């Protein structure tokens, strides 16, 4: 079949992911090859001290992104996109979307980026003997209960962004196992919410305004590979107001961006892992055994099939680098030497590679939001240097690129040094790697492991959720997701691998000593600015 015939016959598959800066839809054929894509750029908003996305923008972004996909399909292949064999929705994990019994939103969407649930996260971690990070949905709920927020008494349903969009399109209040693991801890044996911890939470909730048991509020978990609903007439109208795209398409379980990143890099088996780097940066390391202790810097989540994953999640990655590079680009424009963004980034990354390995004492803290991994409670981007540092563009650029992986390294060192977690391979993806050199090299130095960029890395999580939808639609009897990805998707996939370079490793280790020692100054800046 030609690509046009695949689309015309309804055999193509669609994945849509709501990332932190872009909503992206990808159309793939039944051999998993990307055929077309559509995008919508957006940004979170800081409203009344809360990082959020208005739900109307969620709907507008969904429609605009899908319209762009449909237009690009017709332009490229001369056929209209009217149906598909499967679809899937992915989005940023965690956060808090709360609704009453009439499906009316109770409070603005509280995203993963917020660090406003410290009290709740600490109390739940102690009660469960299981790390509950601030961004987890259950921490947001419990903080609202502790703060006696008025909306708690009207709460009837809570979900993630992926779960919400899936509900809009299918009418089903469900979730995939991986995304669910960022709502509440999962029991590996049942691949469902941990029953003992559910009971413990209900005990904590006794006497509060919460109107029901926790299990009644949470979306139902649907296993990977099972149908999680079909596109309704209302969902089709929301997705495509022109009426061209028809209802009835089956959907796979909605998943988090961490899980689609794992699928997109075939890193869902023990001793594998991946790093996603864009507005935030996080690593997902699939474990052979449980960790020996509870670490507040490390989240325990799962793969789409429920295997335990150690996740080091850092709230800030490229935002500060983008701001600095934008400043340099603005200066060039003022000087009459305006440079296209892609060329500007390539030039600055190349200059970073020429900087001194330890940046000669120039340290960049890229904290656009609070960073629990390093104990920083609020966003406060800072640049530090010694008076005698060689403050030049090369050392500054290298420091800015280092800063994108520094917090991640602080968390990953716990796994590799304290827990002796072994890694066979690490795959990387995300906007940070649009210019692979030296970003890929510095990540390899930070992790002390080979890092591979797959040829499909640029398609990201939208391709990953399309793969999960393809698995639902095309799997053979008793075929596991792990087998499906290894033998039918990635068997002949090409990628580029780099190994740690000693000069980079030594330089980054020296940089990290200065970085860690300077964190007290960052915390003081946050504290003093908060007082002001």
Q: Where in the chain is the domain with CATH 3.30.420.40?
A: 93-240, 260-323+365-455+494-532
Question: 3-class DSSP state for residue 238?
Answer: helix
- Name the H helices within 109-171: 118-128, 137-146, 161-170
Pairing of strands 220-222, 174-176: parallel
Would you write out the chain's pLDDT as a tens digit for each of its 532 residues? 899 999 999 999 999 999 988 999 999 999 999 999 999 999 999 999 999 999 999 999 999 999 999 999 999 999 999 999 999 999 999 999 999 999 999 999 999 989 899 999 999 999 999 999 999 999 999 999 999 999 999 999 999 999 999 999 999 999 999 999 999 999 988 999 999 999 999 999 999 999 999 999 999 999 999 999 999 999 999 999 999 999 999 999 999 998 998 998 888 988 889 898 988 898 999 998 889 999 998 999 999 999 899 999 899 999 999 999 999 999 999 999 999 999 999 999 999 999 999 999 999 999 998 998 999 999 999 999 999 999 999 999 999 999 999 999 999 999 999 999 988 789 988 889 989 999 999 999 999 999 998 766 556 789 999 999 999 999 999 999 999 999 999 988 778 999 999 999 999 999 999 999 999 999 999 988 766 5
Cα–Cα distance for residue pair 448/497, rounded to 1 Å: 13
Distances (CA, A) of 469 to 4, 247, 318, 466: 20, 16, 30, 5
Q: How many CB atoms lie within 10 A of CB 519?
A: 17
H and E: helices and strands count for the chain: 17, 22
Nearest Cα to 438, choosing from 466, 401, 465?
401
Q: Give the CATH superfamily of 260-323+365-455+494-532.
A: ATPase, nucleotide binding domain (3.30.420.40)
Cα–Cα distance for residue pair 231/106, rounded to 1 Å: 26
Apex CA 199: angle with CA 193 and CA 205, to 5°? 110
Specify the CATH number for 93-240; select among 3.40.50.1010, 3.40.50.800, 3.30.420.40, 3.40.50.720: 3.30.420.40
List CB contacts of 413: < 8 A, sequence separation 6 or more: none
Phi (first) and psi of residue 230, to 5 degrees: -125, 155
């Amino acid at each position: 079949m030609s690509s046009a015939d695949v689309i015309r016959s309804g055999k193509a598959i669609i994945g849509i992911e709501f990332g932190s800066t872009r909503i992206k839809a990808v159309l793939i054929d039944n051999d998993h090859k990307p055929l077309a894509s559509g995008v919508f750029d957006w940004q979170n908003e800081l409203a009344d001290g809360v990082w959020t996305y208005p739900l109307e923008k969620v709907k507008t972004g969904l429609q605009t992104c899908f319209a762009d996909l449909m237009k690009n399909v017709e332009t490229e292949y001369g056929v209209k996109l009217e149906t598909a064999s499967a679809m899937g929705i992915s989005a940023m994990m965690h956060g808090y979307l709360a609704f009453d019994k009439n499906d009316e939103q109770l409070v603005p969407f509280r995203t993963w980026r917020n660090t406003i649930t410290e009290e709740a996260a600490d109390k739940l971690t102690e009660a469960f003997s299981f790390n509950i990070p601030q961004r987890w949905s259950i921490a947001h709920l419990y903080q609202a209960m502790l703060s006696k927020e008025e909306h708690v008494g009207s709460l009837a349903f809570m979900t993630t962004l992926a779960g919400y969009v899936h509900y809009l399109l299918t009418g089903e209040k469900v979730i995939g196992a991986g995304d669910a693991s960022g709502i509440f801890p999962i029991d590996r044996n049942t691949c469902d919410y941990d029953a003992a911890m559910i009971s413990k939470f209900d005990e904590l909730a006794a006497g509060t305004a919460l109107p029901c048991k926790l299990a009644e509020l949470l979306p139902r978990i649907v296993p990977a590979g099972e149908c999680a609903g079909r596109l309704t007439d209302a969902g089709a109208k929301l997705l495509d107001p022109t009426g061209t795209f028809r209802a009835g398409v089956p959907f796979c379980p909605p998943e988090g961006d961490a899980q689609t990143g794992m699928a997109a890099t075939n890193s869902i088996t023990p001793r594998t892992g991946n790093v996603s780097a864009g507005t935030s940066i996080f690593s997902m390391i699939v474990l052979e055994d449980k960790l020996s202790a509870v670490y507040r810097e490390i989240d325990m989540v799962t793969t789409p099939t429920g295997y335990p994953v150690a996740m080091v999640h850092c709230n800030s990655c490229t935002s500060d680098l983008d701001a600095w590079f934008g400043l340099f680009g603005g200066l060039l424009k003022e000087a009459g030497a305006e440079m296209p963004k892609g060329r500007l980034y390539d030039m600055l990354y190349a200059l970073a590679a020429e900087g001194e390995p330890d940046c000669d004492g120039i340290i960049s803290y890229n904290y656009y939001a609070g960073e629990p991994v390093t104990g920083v409670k609020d966003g406060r981007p800072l640049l530090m240097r010694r008076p005698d540092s060689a403050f030049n563009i090369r050392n500054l650029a290298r420091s800015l690129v280092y800063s994108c992986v520094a917090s991640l390294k602080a968390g990953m060192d716990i796994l590799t040094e304290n827990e002796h977690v072994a890694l066979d391979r690490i795959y990387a993806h995300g906007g940070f790697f649009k210019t692979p050199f030296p970003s890929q090299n510095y990540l390899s130095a930070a992790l002390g492991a080979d890092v591979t960029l797959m040829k499909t890395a640029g398609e990201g999580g939208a391709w990953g959720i399309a793969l999960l939808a393809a698995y639902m639609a095309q799997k053979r009897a008793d075929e596991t997701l792990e087998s499906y990805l290894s033998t039918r998707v990635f068997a002949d996939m090409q990628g580029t691998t780099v190994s740690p370079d000693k000069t980079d490793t030594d330089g980054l280790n020296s940089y990290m000593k200065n970085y860690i020692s300077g964190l007290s100054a960052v915390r003081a800046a946050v504290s003093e600015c908060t007082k002001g």
